[in-house]
A and B are shown apart, each in its own frame.
Chain A
């Protein structure tokens, strides 16, 4: 094929994927590496790419330490309880102690942050959330990244990481292709910071046809953060921790501002509060009182874990008392709140506003329906899938520390945002902050001489070039075997492959059509089928043009992600997050055996998986030291 090979050499920091994490990384890298070559490779256009392309109406992670509102450990405890204990508290503490400085810079850059008229502080939506007019959030952070970077390559789909040929398990850059010109791009770099996205569209969506694009997480979030790192042999953690979102039906408009700021609430079709009636049995039969003690949690300010609230929602609907409504008709009588309710969608989920306009649903007079979404796999919203990364030296215990903050188990390969595992509730500001942390560490890694002597031969570059275009070659080879159409015995197209993946994940790994239920038998069958899909991809994925080549590689990353999700779901032999998914064969949370983090490694040569448990460290203060005594005091009350 006539596509050119374009080599960008001598890069110090390559940012692969520039959403909120990647822009933070590129921005900060310049400060610590004045003379370093910083390059961004972005699949779309950096001005509108990643999950925040559309904008945001809130920054969901802000401590307010300056105003005496929260300390970092408060946020860690919140995230711990919300995720049923399963978080990397060193990474979370580190993110939380820095995140405010990112937000204060955003304000300086021109971000309109709403103020509380009473005290002049940022207007709180909830304990951690502040409200913004963030339509231009992404173009703004993109501007900062563009000023710092030497070069920004837009429209590059990064397909693989390059590996050093002189030292095992060390990264050496990345390769991909330009989705406009089709040219093959090679980035030789001392370090790579993966800022690529988590995975939407790996589960069959509730919507069909056109509506398949109306996913909660952006459809261009193709699991590339995981696909790239898994294939390079980086260890992953908590990939079983998929998330199911409670959202406005069909449009998937967010509910955060509605619950927290507008004080709307939910009820079933009979107009009844339904959550609390499901909690006693949930507490007794599945999770235990430690994780669901509505009274105690209220006193200690611990949240009711989101998955458990989902559990009540799902069970109420399955009991025949759906739909669940959001009661907006009270709050929306206040014209100011009504306006906020609409602005909230226009700022980040325009589609919900369109749907209400099209169906004549005026939430001032009619309570809108809610739903629970298909599952998603990601690591920056309220769940923590991602790579097993080193923490910071001054916080992390030995098992969590191997030299450089946010470095994966592959030397020189760093992550941020969705790429880093165990760090839920980072959201936009926390992802940007993680990018900054990774950038500082990457510059230090280079300064320490850790990237010296990297060797990449043309053999590797040529091999990858062949891999990249293989789907087009397959199409060319077999297209004329048939008269016309899309049915071919030698290949499938990317859409057909995606449909197969979504059906498989849905039925075998706890999607919506089975009410999020799975078990070991189903997962083993699923893994077998996943293996066949992976084989079909290798030998028979066909791309008619460069756009389909993009979709083919996105599918590859989604398949690698999904296989990891199945392996992790099978390994964790318990039901840890009822409401996100259920292991029907192990319907109890099992702290005796599974109060641990799950870590996987896929052998890049053989594709074989090894699973292990990693110890779970918690951030403890004096009050937590004697839990038994504390319990007695509580009982007396």
Chain B
């Protein structure tokens, strides 16, 4: 379901152009508003719909298999950490709202900056461990799994 842009809501800010993963939201040079330049490369990912500050972008299902008349709209709020959806069926029998969390923490604060983390020791460097391992893998004092700890061998041949 490719996107389209409401003429009266778009102010040509370009947020959709900036975010579209498929590079298909462009600004029309004459009317200076956004539009979908290549609907057949639209994945209906809603990245632009979520990013638009004016809710100016909507989706109309792919013409080759989707009848007209339904609506799936969304509001994503990073500050509140939620995303809200509203789905309306073509025949109106179903009209409901669904809410989901998008984060459990204030946006971004839980993500570490590894520039500020102590450098790994030589012992760590010479091991097969990654950052925060092994403590982020297991609760006990054990290390990383390998062939010896798990009593395994690599063998050529037909095994199932």
Listed in ascending order, the chain A residues whose CB lies under 8 Å from chain B are 27-28, 30-32, 34, 44-45, 47-50, 53-54, 65-66, 71-73, 80-81, 85, 89-90, 93-94, 97-98, 100-101, 104-105, 107-112, 133, 135-136, 140, 143-144, 147-148, 155, 179, 207-215, 218-220, 250, 290-291, 302, 339, 342-343, 346-347, 350-351, 353-355, 357-360, 362, 392-397, 433, 436-437, 440, 444, 547, 550, 591, 595, 615-622, 624, 627
Q: State whether B21 touches A359 (Cβ < 8 A).
A: no
Name the residue on A nearest B83 (C-beta): A135
**Residues A395 and B155 in contact in the complex (CB < 8 Å), given A135-B76, A218-B21, A346-B98:** no
Q: In the complex, how many angstroms separate the beta carbon of A363 from the nearest chain B beta carbon?
A: 11
Q: In the complex, how many angstroms separate the beta carbon of A37 from the nearest chain B beta carbon?
A: 13
B150 within 8 A of A: yes
What does the 1/0 interface line of B39-76 toward A look like (CB < 8 Å)? 11111111100010000000101111111111110101
What are the residues of chain B within 8 A of A93 when measuring CB–CB?
Answer: 145
B31 within 8 A of A: no
Name the residue on A nearest B119 (C-beta): A34
Q: State whether A437 touches B139 (Cβ < 8 A).
A: no
Of the four ranges (under 10, 10 to 19, 20 to 34, 35 or more), the interface on chain B belongs to 35 or more
Q: In the complex, how many angstroms separate the beta carbon of B3 from the nearest chain A beta carbon?
A: 10
Q: In the complex, how many angstroms separate the beta carbon of A105 from the nearest chain B beta carbon?
A: 6
Listed in ascending order, the chain B residues whose CB lies under 8 Å from chain A are 1-2, 18-23, 26, 37-47, 51, 59, 61-72, 74, 76, 78, 83, 85, 87-91, 93-94, 98, 100-105, 107-115, 117, 119-120, 125, 128, 130-134, 136-139, 144-147, 150-160
**Residues A44 and B1 in contact in the complex (CB < 8 Å), given A85-B160, A617-B155:** no
Query: What are 29 A-B contacts defined by CB distance under 8 Å?
Result: A28-B130, A28-B131, A44-B22, A48-B19, A48-B47, A48-B51, A54-B47, A66-B138, A94-B128, A98-B137, A135-B83, A143-B111, A209-B62, A213-B40, A291-B160, A346-B85, A351-B1, A351-B62, A357-B88, A358-B70, A358-B89, A360-B89, A362-B89, A617-B156, A618-B159, A619-B147, A621-B151, A621-B153, A624-B159
What are the residues of chain B within 8 A of A440 when measuring CB–CB?
Answer: 130
State A101–B110 Cα separation when bound (angstroms): 15
Contact of B65 among A97, A215, A355, A619 (CB under 8 A): A355
Name the residue on B nearest A440 (C-beta): B130
Q: In the complex, how many angstroms separate the beta carbon of A497 from the nearest chain B beta carbon?
A: 14
What are the residues of chain B within 8 A of A111 when measuring CB–CB?
Answer: 103-104
**Residues A44 and B156 in contact in the complex (CB < 8 Å), given A71-B145, A112-B104, A136-B102:** no
Contact of B158 among A353, A396, A595 (CB under 8 A): A595
Q: State whether B152 touches A210 (Cβ < 8 A).
A: no
Name the residue on A nearest B45 (C-beta): A54
Q: State whether B114 touches A98 (Cβ < 8 A).
A: no
Q: In the complex, how many angstroms separate the beta carbon of A297 from the nearest chain B beta carbon?
A: 10
Name the residue on B nearest A137 (C-beta): B102
Q: State whether A358 touches B88 (Cβ < 8 A).
A: no
Q: In the complex, how many angstroms separate the beta carbon of A251 from the nearest chain B beta carbon?
A: 9
Q: State whether B93 touches A100 (Cβ < 8 A).
A: no
Contact of B62 among A30, A136, A214 (CB under 8 A): A214
Q: State whether B43 touches A547 (Cβ < 8 A).
A: no
Q: In the complex, how many angstroms separate the beta carbon of A40 from the nearest chain B beta carbon?
A: 14
Q: State whether B103 touches A110 (Cβ < 8 A).
A: yes
Q: State whether B153 touches A620 (Cβ < 8 A).
A: yes
5 closest A-B pairs by CB:
A101-B136, A357-B70, A110-B105, A351-B44, A211-B62
What are the residues of chain B within 8 A of A595 when measuring CB–CB?
Answer: 157-158
Instruction: List 11 additional contacts besides A339-B98, A354-B66; criterion CB under 8 Å.
Output: A27-B114, A28-B114, A48-B21, A65-B137, A97-B145, A110-B108, A207-B65, A214-B43, A220-B43, A342-B87, A346-B74
**Residues A547 and B23 in contact in the complex (CB < 8 Å), given A73-B152, A110-B105, A140-B103:** yes
What are the residues of chain B within 8 A of A437 when measuring CB–CB?
Answer: 130
What are the residues of chain B within 8 A of A618 when measuring CB–CB?
Answer: 154-157, 159
Q: State whether B23 touches A550 (Cβ < 8 A).
A: yes
What are the residues of chain A within 8 A of B150 when measuring CB–CB?
Answer: 71-73, 621
State A50–B69 Cα separation when bound (angstroms): 31
What are the residues of chain B within 8 A of A94 when measuring CB–CB?
Answer: 128
Q: State whether B104 touches A110 (Cβ < 8 A).
A: yes
Q: State whether B152 touches A358 (Cβ < 8 A).
A: no
Contact of B45 among A28, A143, A212, A350 (CB under 8 A): A350
Contact of B63 among A105, A210, A346 (CB under 8 A): A210
Q: State whether A358 touches B61 (Cβ < 8 A).
A: yes
Q: State whether B130 touches A48 (Cβ < 8 A).
A: no
Q: State whether A136 touches B63 (Cβ < 8 A).
A: no
Contact of A72 among B39, B100, B145 (CB under 8 A): B145
Q: In the complex, how many angstroms separate the beta carbon of B156 from the nearest chain A beta carbon?
A: 5
Q: State whether B114 touches A30 (Cβ < 8 A).
A: yes
**Residues A105 and B157 in contact in the complex (CB < 8 Å), given A358-B90, A619-B152:** no
State A360–B115 Cα separation when bound (angstroms): 52
Name the residue on A nearest B145 (C-beta): A97
**Residues A354 and B59 in contact in the complex (CB < 8 Å), given A346-B85, A595-B158:** yes
Q: State whether B154 touches A547 (Cβ < 8 A).
A: no
Q: State whether A616 touches B21 (Cβ < 8 A).
A: no
What are the residues of chain A within 8 A of B113 when measuring CB–CB?
Answer: 147-148
Q: In the complex, how many angstroms separate the beta carbon of A439 from the nearest chain B beta carbon?
A: 9
What are the residues of chain A within 8 A of B100 when measuring CB–CB?
Answer: 112, 133, 135, 343, 346-347
What are the residues of chain A within 8 A of B46 when measuring CB–CB?
Answer: 54, 350
Q: State whether B21 touches A220 (Cβ < 8 A).
A: yes
Q: State whether A101 touches B137 (Cβ < 8 A).
A: yes
What are the residues of chain A within 8 A of B19 when measuring CB–CB?
Answer: 45, 47-48
Q: In the complex, how many angstroms separate the beta carbon of A151 from the nearest chain B beta carbon?
A: 14
Q: State whether B22 touches A354 (Cβ < 8 A).
A: no
State A617–B146 Cα separation when bound (angstroms): 16
State A614–B98 Cα separation when bound (angstroms): 51
What are the residues of chain A within 8 A of B131 when measuring CB–CB?
Answer: 28, 31, 436
State A218–B46 Cα separation when bound (angstroms): 13
State A617–B45 Cα separation when bound (angstroms): 40
Q: State whether A358 touches B117 (Cβ < 8 A).
A: no
What are the residues of chain B within 8 A of A27 when measuring CB–CB?
Answer: 114
Q: In the complex, how many angstroms separate the beta carbon of B140 from the nearest chain A beta carbon?
A: 9
State A622–B152 Cα separation when bound (angstroms): 8
What are the residues of chain B within 8 A of A342 when measuring CB–CB?
Answer: 87, 98
What are the residues of chain A within 8 A of B62 when measuring CB–CB?
Answer: 207, 209-211, 213-214, 250, 351
State A620–B156 Cα separation when bound (angstroms): 10
Contact of B147 among A32, A98, A359, A395 (CB under 8 A): A395
Q: State whether B43 touches A619 (Cβ < 8 A).
A: no
What are the residues of chain A within 8 A of B18 when measuring CB–CB?
Answer: 45
Name the residue on A nearest B91 (C-beta): A360
State A137–B159 Cα separation when bound (angstroms): 37
**Residues A110 and B110 in contact in the complex (CB < 8 Å), given A207-B65, A210-B39, A358-B61:** yes
Contact of A148 among B41, B115, B139 (CB under 8 A): B115
State A250–B66 Cα separation when bound (angstroms): 9
Q: In the complex, how many angstroms separate the beta carbon of B44 from the nearest chain A beta carbon?
A: 4
